A and B are shown apart, each in its own frame.
Chain A
Amino acid sequence: MADEGNAMLTEQEAAVYDRQIRVWGVEAQKRMSKSNILVGGAITGIIAEALKNIVLAGVGSVTLVDDTPVSAESIAATFILTPDLIDSGVSMGAACAAALQDFNPMVAVRSEEGNIVDKAPDFYDFFSVVLLGRAPLDLQKKINGICRSRGHKVAFFSADVRGGIGQIFVDLQTHNYTPFPKPDTTPEPQTAQYPSLEEALSFSWKPLLEQKRKERTDSLFFTMRVLERFEQAEKRRPGAVSAADLPGLLKTRDDMAKSQDVLPEMIPDELLERLADAGPGELPAVSAIVGGILGQEILKSVSSKGAPVENFFLYSLTKHTGLIERVPPLKKS
């Protein structure tokens, strides 16, 4: 027996999605079902986890662009692929699309041929969200720029996990949303303004470190910037670092600290050491945690319900918790 509200959903949707509709309501579910998600960059464990979560939840469509062949490395951290696919000639995009489609027949999951680097700007018009997995910084900036230049808003997410450390970047441009209500209150609509990736990464470090202790940007943020800069300068594929690169990473840290006029000690050696050792690997459980957060952020953005992360989410295994960093910080009124 369908309720008035649920009459907007098919019977199957109402049955499968019952438990989550009780969390975010039918309106939000309908908006999710109209959203089209584009996925580029390398489909690593965290991306697979986030995709599992949004496919289960019932987004409209997911389009994967990853023409790299399935390898032993790519199998390791993700549950959705099986070893028999290694060296089978199937691309990551195609293999993951097939696996993800299996989770929910109500979502259109497909693989697009080619490389995302070659896609013209108007290719992005079909999509409400772009999710970039592991990708070089230049490509991230380029695609973020394209998302910001289309006729309608294309939300941008990029995410990566290295060993026990994870990061998500969120750019929802101008985002109108209704927060989840606190008990016995009616929520007021809110608007959040997001900086572009370029703006976030070019912001000076000094003011971030000079904030009061509670608001001070965590060293993990700067550590990721050092890693990014190193990989870019050394023309490495993201993840192609190893323990041998530690001296190079420390030097990059020292140089960046100097040019930003901050103390190098603000970025501990230990964090860079862990990133160097991790190389391209991901701890599966860490990918599941950060992928869980990422999936939910995508759902919040397409449903316009719930206060989304502004604008970096960082996770470290040893802290057992996540951090949100706003860069640049919001100006206090």
Chain B
Amino acid sequence: MGAMDTGNMEGRWRDLDYLLLRQGNIVGPGFEPAPEIRDFLQDDFKVLVIGAGGLGCELLKDLALSGFGHIDVIDMDTIDVSNLNRQFLFRMHDVGKPKATVAAERVMKRVKGVTVIPHHCRIEEKPDEFYKDFHIIVLGLDSLEARSYINSVVCSFLEYDADGTLDMSTIKPMVDGGTEGFKGHARVILPGVTPCFHCTLWLFPPQTTFPLCTLAETPRSPAHCIEYAHLIQWGQERTSETFDADNPEHMKWMYEQALKRAEQFNISGVTYSLTQGVVKNIIPAIASTNAIIAASCSLEALKIATMCSSGMDNYMMYVGTQGVYTHTVSYEKDMSCIVCSLGVPVHADADSTLDQFMKQLIADDRFSGKLSKPSVSHLGENLYMAAPPILEEMTRENLSKSLVELLGEKGGTVNVNDKKLAGVLRVQVAFSDAASEPNAMDTAGAG
């Protein structure tokens, strides 16, 4: 592609070249400056942006301006008027259109030479292979569930050798951003190396749910009154109707009921706006926090892609209410994380059945006393469930299947659950030559 086609006018990439074409104190390990790095970024590197909302719009802008030439963006939502205070790629006349489609169009119009491919669908609708195709995945999501899902998919790509070494080529880096009001975070996840999303699940405070007795007997706050109307009254008084938060009459009814209840209990503060906020779980949002967090994520993506500077290690928090506060923490991987860790190594015969293997685990000294009636799953799929009875019946046939049939030729990591275990036990199953490897299986029953 010639300079005219890509819009590479004289000096266009001068700022990026300053980072990519010279050695210096800030470069990452093994960095070799070369013009090929910029070409690689523009021509070969594929980045996926998940979300085309507050963070997504800013991410697309920053990544495109930073030299990434091939960007895909996925978002299931359509544009709403309340997005316009920060999702700057959208205008009033775009309301109702798919975010991913409009965002891609606007970015390509403004930045010559970048290709942005939109996907207007849920992240779960894409097969795992879709995600495997990208060099980096940048997340601009607004829910724990969505992050959890992508995290599981990306961590499932990890492969460990028979001796437990991580195959570095299976690491797919993720950069995750999140914002709410004046608070935000940006983090780098190198699965298998830095903590994955699941390793640090404790970072996210539990979602606010009120105990039913408080709602029913002793409300104290306007939110209690609103949730009472939402979770209890609607079901009792408008039994046959499904509540639709976008229906103004439904929302008005919710507000009026909540207000009545608040007056009963002498509680002030119920407003229509608060009612919407509580019922729809609205996250307050402003432009600046999204700009800061998205740009931080983009910088990390650039560093990972080019090694031009040492990367964030590995979690940055930002708070903008009191002056400005930022802090970077180096969280550690949870070595027994059920999603990304290697697992306790166990050698087994490829031909042994699942039943024999489970008996082998029970007999293994390392787990003595910890296993009685284990359940086993692999890559999210239940191989055998000890309980409840209905699932036990459904998975019983797997007990007589061989490990190689269930896990594939290379074995793999299985998650083991048991009443006696505090959490999930992650076990790395490696196939050994039964004749040469004396192991606990010799003493396990023939099954």
Interface residues, chain A, with chain B CB atoms under 8 Å away: 1-6, 15-24, 49, 52-53, 56-58, 72-73, 76-77, 79, 82-83, 86, 102-105, 163-164, 179-180, 270, 273-274, 277-279, 281-286, 288-289, 291-293, 295-296, 299, 306-310, 313, 317-318, 320-322, 324
Contact = CB atoms under 8 A, between A and B. Distances in A.
Given A72-B10, A296-B320, A77 B15 contact: yes
B316 A320 contact: yes
A274 B308 CA distance: 14
Interface in B35-94: 58, 61-62, 65-66, 81-82, 84-86, 88, 91-92
Given A274-B26, A288-B58, A22 B85 contact: no
Contacts of B61: 79, 284, 288
Contact of A20 (B7, B10, B284, B292): B284
A23 B287 CA distance: 11
Interface residues of B, number: 69
B85 A58 contact: yes
A293 B324 CA distance: 8
Interface in B152-170: none
29 contacts: A1-B272, A5-B273, A16-B81, A17-B85, A18-B282, A20-B287, A23-B286, A24-B286, A53-B287, A56-B287, A57-B288, A58-B85, A72-B12, A79-B61, A86-B9, A104-B84, A179-B322, A273-B24, A284-B15, A284-B62, A286-B295, A292-B288, A293-B292, A296-B182, A299-B288, A307-B321, A310-B323, A324-B323, A324-B324
Given A15-B81, A20-B85, A296 B288 contact: yes
Contacts of B321: 179-180, 306-307
B37 to A, nearest CB: 15
B270 to A, nearest CB: 10
Interface of B: 7, 9-12, 14-16, 18-19, 22, 24-26, 58, 61-62, 65-66, 81-82, 84-86, 88, 91-92, 109-112, 181-182, 248, 252, 255, 271-273, 277, 282-292, 294-296, 298-299, 302, 309-310, 312, 316, 320-324, 326-328
A180 B322 contact: yes
Given A79-B110, A318-B310, A321-B316, A285 B299 contact: yes
Given A57-B286, A295-B287, A322-B324, A289 B292 contact: yes
A114 to B, nearest CB: 28
Contacts of A17: 85
B96 to A, nearest CB: 14
Contacts of A21: 273
A57 B286 CA distance: 8
A274 B323 CA distance: 27
B295 A289 contact: yes
A1 B275 CA distance: 12
